[in-house]
Amino acid sequence: MSVSEKVSLSDALSNVDVLDELTLPDEQPCIEAAPCSILYQANFDTNFEDRNGFVTGIAKYIEEATVHANLNELLEEGNDHAVMLYTWRCCSRAIPQPRSNEQPDRVHIYERTVQVLAPEVDKLLQFMYFQRKAIERFCGEVRRLCHAEKRRDFVSEAYLLTLGKFVNMFAVLDELKNMKSSVKNDYSTYRRAAQFLKVMSDSQSLQESQNLSMFLATQNKIRDTVKDALEKINGYEELLADVVNICVHMFETKMYLTPSEKHMLVKVMGFGLFLMDSEVCNINRLDQKKKIRLDRIDRIFKNLEVVPLFGDMQIAPFNYIKRSKHYDSSKWPLSSSPNPPSPQADLMVHLPQIREEHQNYISELARYSNEVTTTFKEAGSDAENKAVTELCLRGLQLLSSWCSVLTELCSWKLLHPTDHASNPRCPPDAEEYERATRYNYTSEEKFAMIEVIAMIKGLQVLMARMETVFADAARRSIYAELQDFVQLKLREPLRKAIKNKKDLIRSIIVSVRETCGDWARGCEPQQDPALRGKKDAEASFTIKVPRRNVGPSSTQLYMVRTQLEALISDKSGGRRTLRKDLDAGTLTQIETFHRLSFYWGYLLNLSDSLQKCCDLSQLWYREFYLEMTMGRKVNKCTVHHQHNEECNDLITMEKRIQFPIEMSMPWILTDHILRTKEPAMMEYVLYPLDLYNDSAQYALTVFRKQFLYDEVEAEVNLCFDQFVYKLSEQVAQRINADMHRALDAAVAKFEAGDITGVVELEGLISVNRLCHKLLSRYLTLDDFDAILRESDHGVLAPYGRITLHVFWELNFDFLPNYCYNAATDRFVKCRGIQFAAGVTREKPQQYGHALLWGSKQLSLAYSAQYAQYVGFVGAQHLHALVRLLGYQGVAVVVSELLDVARGLLHGTIAQFTRALAAAMPRHCKLPRYDYGSNGVLGYYHAQLTDIVQYPDARTELFHAFRELGNIILFCMLLVKKKSRTYFTLRPSRIFFQDPSLQQGQLSREGDLLTRERLCCGLSLFSVVLRRLRTCLSAPQWPAPPAPHHHAPAHTDDTNEFHRLWSALQFLYCIPVGDTQFTVEELFGEGLHWAGCTIIALLGQQRRFEALDFCYHILRVQRVDGKDESVKGIPLKRMVDRIRRFQVLNSQIFGVLARHLAADEERAGVEHVRCFPPPSAPVHQIN
């Protein structure tokens, strides 16, 4: 749209309306105060600037409006001075002082001091002038109103209230001036420098300087000046009594909106009575004359013992009474006794009511806001608008009353700091401000405060969202009420006044009508019979009152209300009151209108009122306390003991320019939630932080002080860092890290134990996986497998901790110490002699139950369950191993094991083989059956005597073979499990997938499975075998030189491996005594697997079976059935053992043959086995 293009108003307005239709989801839960990047507030208060437009109004009230305008300006100026004093920070402490008169740069220092302080001192001078002017003006007004002629005349409510505001202003300024010692110090610093430099040369400025110095130094100067000046005015006390009475009336009928207005009323009562009580006037006597009602004020002062004076300065209004001349405690039965304590000190008594009010109002508001959003209306009916306006006003009043309760509690607490005696948590050397804030609230009080703050801020958000609706309804409703009243309801009294010739009443009513009448035709209908004092002819005359979306201007509202007040006032300057000339119905109507219209100003300025009703900024400000503590050094006692005045352990800390956040109310409350971790309060955690928003807003718009804003901002930043740090322990961001730690703990636990722990490790990992899965529904977490690999240290290193530990355990514990038993399909730890060095593992790090199984009970239960898997390695362990290690891990472990096997074959086993081969007889025949089995046994025993007596055979040698056998067995079982694992896992995955899965995809998955099985399952063990075979060749392996091709096999030669193994088999077939360990017990079947595998791989299986010594004995014994002891060997028992091992050997050979055959069969035909597993995604344990 180009700039020059013209847009009509209706287009522009509809453009704005269209904005409503854009949906802007923010997905933010409603847990914080109104976030507001742009603040827009229009203020239409003209401060009576337009008063001259209403020339038809009564001149007296237009004049009064002029006075009002001037007084308001003075009040505003007074507020600026109050802000100036309150936010004054000491400058002189930062200014270097010349140490002696000889110091060469002292002139320079003084010059700069004057230069720096001059603008500040000028503010003080202006302040002094202002208070003079204000006192003069105030007393002038009082004098004018107390003049004998005017004494009996009616003074409007607005006028009295403005005078009350002056009284309040004097009280505030006086207290601020008394309190601020830094102002005085700065001024004396300036004065010293100025006198030295002779800046003030003329007598007038010297005099002013003297005056200012006196003004600043004299305590209660303003108060006393006002009092002295007033006492000279005749009858001033009656006017002040009117002021006090109007305050009491407004307080009791809740004619105020914001908390500060409420507190102002109370302060005026106190200070007003103080000003009244003097030599010439005794308030107790006024009470007797019913001019004032002390009993009512007494009750108010008891209910509000302490009110905020300015910022964090508090005042007890009753103290003014106590200081007055004719104080009589019997007149003040409630306030003068300390018991019972004021209800303002106890938040808990207010809480149930606040909760109920909140609940009711919120539900009503929700019902209405639903109505608004579902039904679109241009403008509601009068009745609807009125209802909405009332709803809005009620909301504002509720917010204000809750805010009052909070601020009054804080005020009371600030004036009643705790100490060590009443609160043991408070250390004896706690600072002043700490005692007023940090240690001054109980846990329940803090929770209650948080709840009330949350209610205030929460309702503020809701009301702010509906602000345009509320403001619209309020304007329409107010317009309608005003115009109906002026144009219709005032006709009747006007008619009567004209008829009865009551000119004063007539002129007032006419003036009201002309001041604000918005006539349909532009002016009052002249044909209206009421204007002639006549009755309406039947149905002949009607007035159509227009409707608009605008309220009266501030001046109009003032004029209407004040003029109507004149009609109903019971005071009227000596004449009889006008009330008598009005009938009761009219009086009631006017009174009702007057009462209701009081709140119109607030409603017409809704956004400002809403903000003021929710303003809790003063909970943060602490200039008063800073002023108090800054002059002093902060002392801290380093030793814990009963502290006293003569303590020598005090160290002086640095002087502070701000208090730490631990003493700051917003942070105290936020921290309280985080510390107690009360789940119900957690959702309120952001509301107390919003107090900083209020304070910063106040610093920007009211105090207008950059340094205060900066301090608030700095504190927020600090608090927010703390907040995030503390909160993160409890929510999402830490979950990833916790997940890491939990997996880390699981792996570490595994690392601290033997290989059997692998089952528990898998259990722990699957628990964590489930946890991760459940959490992932709500949180964005890292991929579980990624976390697992990271905890396993498997991202940057080729093998993870699990793989490494598995291998370590296999190498140092499993291979040397476990015995295999085919019957149970388990490896069991050897109970007899340990051949390997004992295994020492790292001490397990202690982890909390939370990181492992969750709780102590669960940990106990699970460790009982997993205890069943300790002590053996079986199918479960191998399954778990395969699942945990995956393709890569299994491959790594197997290949590492192969390396170990090669080491064994080429090292220990080769050595022993060579040594034993040397000990073997050159030839060893198969003796003929004729010798009988006993003869055969005897023969072999004699032949093999060197071997039988070889000392290391039964120990080191067998041990080495056992290790090799375990490797082979482990590889075989692992590979078997692996293929089965994949084979069983994969289909389940297919079937659980989407039923609409295409047939082709299914078959492809199936194909994948088969290939996988072929590659990984069957062929892997063949690969192992093949690799072992390559190791069994010269020169590392002591193979005999290849025989000549055609040379006949020498069956008696003993240089081949199978002959050696036959010798060893002979050795372990010899039965042992009852007390000795058998070979099976010590080494398990690994021994036989090792021997048979080597034989099979060397292709000597047939020769072994044909020529083996033991088999020969067995065969012969089968024939002759002899049983006798040969050289101490029981023949029958030996034969039984041989038979058992023969069966075992042939089983082993069978298995090996199958693998070797499968391998050879596929060799060269299929290349499938050459490929690593197809690109199936890494499997998952469900």
Q: Which is nearer to another protein, 766 or 888 (CB)?
A: 888
Q: For residues 784 and 1161, what is the distance between their CA atoms, to the nearest angstrom?
A: 43
Residue 382 as a binder of another protein (CB under 8 A): the answer is no
Question: Would you list the DSSP string of 538-570?
Answer: TTT--------S----HHHHHHHHHHHHHHH-S
- Among positions 234, 359, 360, 549, the unique one binding another protein when judged by CB under 8 A: 549
Residue 1171 as a binder of another protein (CB under 8 A): the answer is yes
Q: Which is nearer to another protein, 517 or 533 (CB)?
A: 517
Q: Nearest Cα to 832, choosing from 953, 947, 959, 961?
A: 959
Candidate segments 34-42, 255-263, 298-306, 421-429, binder of another protein by CB under 8 A: 34-42
Q: Which is nearer to another protein, 841 or 1026 (CB)?
A: 1026
Q: Which is nearer to another protein, 788 or 1131 (CB)?
A: 788
Q: For residues 275 and 170, what is the distance between their CA atoms, to the nearest angstrom?
A: 11
Closest separation between CB of residue 523 and another protein, Å? 4
Answer yes or no: are the C-beta atoms of 827 and 1084 closer than 8 Å.
Answer: yes
Residue 488 as a binder of another protein (CB under 8 A): the answer is no
- Among positions 1, 3, 42, 639, the unique one binding another protein when judged by CB under 8 A: 42
Closest separation between CB of residue 335 and another protein, Å? 46
Candidate segments 130-138, 369-377, 943-951, 1020-1028, binder of another protein by CB under 8 A: 1020-1028
Residue 797 as a binder of another protein (CB under 8 A): the answer is yes
Task: Identify residue 535 by its one-letter amino acid code.
Answer: K
Residue 280 as a binder of another protein (CB under 8 A): the answer is no
Closest separation between CB of residue 1029 and another protein, Å? 12
Residue 1163 as a binder of another protein (CB under 8 A): the answer is no
Q: Which is nearer to another protein, 519 or 847 (CB)?
A: 519
Residue 133 to residues 129, 136, 145, 274: CA-CA distances in angstroms? 6, 5, 18, 22
Residue 649 as a binder of another protein (CB under 8 A): the answer is no
Closest separation between CB of residue 453 and another protein, Å? 21
- Among positions 3, 796, 918, 1042, the unique one binding another protein when judged by CB under 8 A: 796
Q: For residues 512 and 562, what is the distance between their CA atoms, to the nearest angstrom?
A: 10
Residue 379 as a binder of another protein (CB under 8 A): the answer is no
Q: For residues 83 and 102, what is the distance between their CA atoms, to the nearest angstrom?
A: 40
Q: Which is nearer to another protein, 527 or 1175 (CB)?
A: 1175
Residue 7 as a binder of another protein (CB under 8 A): the answer is no
Q: Which is nearer to another protein, 96 or 1174 (CB)?
A: 1174
Closest separation between CB of residue 554 and another protein, Å? 11
Residue 204 as a binder of another protein (CB under 8 A): the answer is no
Residue 886 to residues 160, 586, 1177: CA-CA distances in angstroms? 90, 96, 11
Helices of type H across 949-1018: 958-991, 999-1012
- Among positions 235, 517, 874, 1130, the unique one binding another protein when judged by CB under 8 A: 517
Residue 650 as a binder of another protein (CB under 8 A): the answer is no
Q: How many CB atoms lie within 10 A of CB 108?
A: 11
Residue 441 to residues 416, 422, 423, 446, 448: CA-CA distances in angstroms? 11, 12, 10, 6, 10
| Helix, coil or strand: residue 314 | strand
- Among positions 119, 424, 522, 995, the unique one binding another protein when judged by CB under 8 A: 522
Residue 1165 as a binder of another protein (CB under 8 A): the answer is no
Q: Which is nearer to another protein, 98 or 794 (CB)?
A: 794
- Among positions 359, 363, 588, 895, the unique one binding another protein when judged by CB under 8 A: 895
Residue 724 as a binder of another protein (CB under 8 A): the answer is no
Q: Which is nearer to another protein, 566 or 892 (CB)?
A: 892
Residue 982 as a binder of another protein (CB under 8 A): the answer is no
Beta strands (DSSP E) in 182-327 are 307-310, 313-315
Residue 56 as a binder of another protein (CB under 8 A): the answer is yes
Q: Compute the 3-state secondary structure of the chain and give helix, strand, coil in percent, each to the nearest 5.
A: 65, 0, 30
Residue 563 to residues 59, 437, 504, 600: CA-CA distances in angstroms? 11, 49, 11, 16
For the stretch 2-22, what's the b/e string if a residue is b when 16 or more beta carbons lie within 10 angstroms of its beta carbon?
A: eeeeeeeeeeeeeeeeeeeee
* Helix-helix angle 1057-1069:910-919, to 10 degrees: 80
- Among positions 722, 859, 888, 1142, the unique one binding another protein when judged by CB under 8 A: 888
Residue 720 as a binder of another protein (CB under 8 A): the answer is no
Closest separation between CB of residue 1164 and another protein, Å? 13
Q: Which is nearer to another protein, 553 or 1054 (CB)?
A: 553
Q: Reduce the secondary structure of 851-898 to three states and give it as a string.
A: HCCCCHHHHHHHHHHHHCCCCEECHHHHHHHHHHHHHHHHHHHHHHHH
Segment holding 1070, helix H or strand E: none
Residue 854 as a binder of another protein (CB under 8 A): the answer is no
Closest separation between CB of residue 23 and another protein, Å? 9
Angle at Cα 48 formed by Cα 508 and Cα 518, nearest 5°?
50
Q: For residues 851 and 847, what is the distance between their CA atoms, to the nearest angstrom?
A: 7
Residue 1012 as a binder of another protein (CB under 8 A): the answer is no
Residue 584 as a binder of another protein (CB under 8 A): the answer is no
Cis peptide preceding 35, ω within 30 of 0 = no
Q: For residues 242 and 167, what is the distance between their CA atoms, to the nearest angstrom?
A: 13
Binding map of another protein across residues 762-781, x = CB under 8 A, - = no contact: ------------------x-
Residue 782 as a binder of another protein (CB under 8 A): the answer is yes
Q: In the numeric block, which tokens belong to residue 509? A: 């009513």
Q: Nearest Cα to 1117, choosing from 1131, 1103, 1137?
A: 1131
Residue 40 as a binder of another protein (CB under 8 A): the answer is yes
Residue 548 as a binder of another protein (CB under 8 A): the answer is yes
Q: In the numeric block, which tokens belong to residue 396? A: 């504002």
Binding-site size, another protein (CB under 8 A): 70
Task: Identify residue 781 by its one-letter amino acid code.
Answer: L
Residue 1179 as a binder of another protein (CB under 8 A): the answer is no
Beta strands (DSSP E) in 831-901 are 872-873
Residue 38 as a binder of another protein (CB under 8 A): the answer is yes
Residue 918 as a binder of another protein (CB under 8 A): the answer is no
Q: Which is nearer to another protein, 893 or 1110 (CB)?
A: 893
Rg from Cα positions in the chain: 51
Answer yes or no: are the C-beta atoms of 616 and 694 closer than 8 Å.
Answer: yes
Answer yes or no: are the C-beta atoms of 456 and 616 closer than 8 Å.
Answer: yes
- Among positions 3, 8, 26, 338, the unique one binding another protein when judged by CB under 8 A: 26
- Among positions 87, 284, 432, 519, the unique one binding another protein when judged by CB under 8 A: 519
Q: Which is nearer to another protein, 1042 or 1170 (CB)?
A: 1170
* 423-482: contacts with another protein (CB under 8 A): 467-468, 471-472, 475
Closest separation between CB of residue 517 and another protein, Å? 7
Residue 53 as a binder of another protein (CB under 8 A): the answer is yes
Residue partners of 164: CB distance under 8 A and separation at least 6: 243, 246, 247, 264, 265, 268, 272
Q: For residues 767 and 747, what is the distance between their CA atoms, to the nearest angstrom?
A: 13
Q: In the numeric block, which tokens belong to residue 465? A: 């969202």
Q: How many CB atoms lie within 10 A of CB 1023?
A: 18
Residue 523 as a binder of another protein (CB under 8 A): the answer is yes
- Among positions 19, 680, 918, 1047, the unique one binding another protein when judged by CB under 8 A: 19
Catalog residues that contact another protein under the rule CB under 8 A.
12-13, 16-17, 19-20, 22, 24-28, 35-40, 42, 44, 53-56, 467-468, 471-472, 475, 514-519, 522-524, 548-550, 553, 607, 780, 782-783, 786, 789-790, 795-799, 887-888, 891-892, 894-895, 1020, 1023, 1026, 1169-1175
